[in-house]
Amino acid sequence: MKRHMNPLIIAATLALAIAGGTAGWQSQAGERVPLAEVSHIHGIAVDPADPQRLYLATHYGVWHTAPDGTAEQISDNSNDYMGFSPHPSEADVFFASGHPVSGGNMGVIVSRDGARSWQQLASGADGPVDFHAMDVSPADPNVIYGLYGRVQVSRDGGKSWEIAGSPPADVFDLAASAVNTDIVYAATRNGLMVSLDGGKKWNATGTEGRPASMVETAPDGSVYAFVLGSGLMKAPAQALAWQPVANGFGEQILLHLAFDPSNPDRMFAVTGESKILTSTDGGKNWTALSS
């Protein structure tokens, strides 16, 4: 018998999984551990210089995986990295937000040396902000969207920010369009929403009534979303005509998705339990990334 969860319960579960917790160990730069020990993953990116390796932004610093099933902490601190977003074309540049170990909000931060050292780029509007969801536009990397109470946008590479508008209720993820800087998607408790005017107004996309936990745009501009009850869905960039990709995840909920820039059929996903999955056939079949 298929179980149907209350959307409010789902929303609370997703919010807890995305925010992470405060319990856990403190790590140090250079420490290498089995991949399975890296928990509370808030973001993922494929290393374009070596697609066998991943960047993992976590509650306890940023990590770099190795093909032997281990991971090394590469950030020079163990801060809580949220809104982790790679630059679309500059391999060593990453943006993030979150919380320092000492508490408070980090604002918008940037790394230009492969996620090793980080500096504050801006406080954000009404900041310092704590963007739990943020994305750099592949159409123009100077455009970055973030969520801190309301949707914010930067059009100068993260140096200055303005309020774009109010978001839909219970946003879990944001993704900027790969074809139009004014289009941004939001995964919400009520399904996937889209804004065509830079975050001012939001419209349904045909998934309403079913919570969407994740949204990501692929290098070819298509849009991927994880919709509870429907699994991983895909739609073309210009017309959101959803097609099923895979729905064999059981109780697992996908929170993050990343593409190998050299082979878009090779994908990686992070579940709500910080389990890393990989697919080599465009998301149709998935296996656990071995540690």
Tell me which residue of 84, 153, 172, 158 sits closest to 123, measured CA to CA: 158
Task: State the pLDDT at residue 10.
Answer: 54
For residue 111, the tally of other CB atoms under 10 A from its CB is 24
Sheet containing 231-235: order of strands: 212-217, 223-227, 231-235, 243-246
| 23 neighbors 252 (Cβ within 8 angstroms) | no
Task: State the pLDDT at residue 95.
Answer: 98
- State pTM to two decimals: 0.91
| CATH number corresponding to 7-288 | 2.130.10.10
Task: State the pLDDT at residue 206.
Answer: 87
Task: State the pLDDT at residue 180.
Answer: 95
Tell me which residue of 148, 68, 66 sits closest to 105, measured CA to CA: 148
| 129 neighbors 123 (Cβ within 8 angstroms) | yes
Task: Give the torsion sign (CA, 174, 35, 10, 191).
Answer: positive
List the domain boundaries for the chain.
7-288
Task: State the pLDDT at residue 208.
Answer: 82
Cα separation of 145 and 152, whole Å?
6
Task: State the pLDDT at residue 238.
Answer: 72
Task: State the pLDDT at residue 6.
Answer: 47
Q: Which residues of the chain have pLDDT under 50?
A: 1-9, 21-24, 291
| 281 neighbors 69 (Cβ within 8 angstroms) | no
For residue 77, the tally of other CB atoms under 10 A from its CB is 16
Task: State the pLDDT at residue 1.
Answer: 32
- Which helix (H) or strand (E) segment is 84 a member of? strand 80-86
Q: Which CA distances in Å does 273 have to 2, 11, 39, 42, 122?
A: 21, 15, 8, 11, 31
Query: Cβ neighbours of residue 276 under 8 Å, at least 6 residues apart?
Result: 35, 41, 44, 54, 56, 268, 269, 270, 288, 289
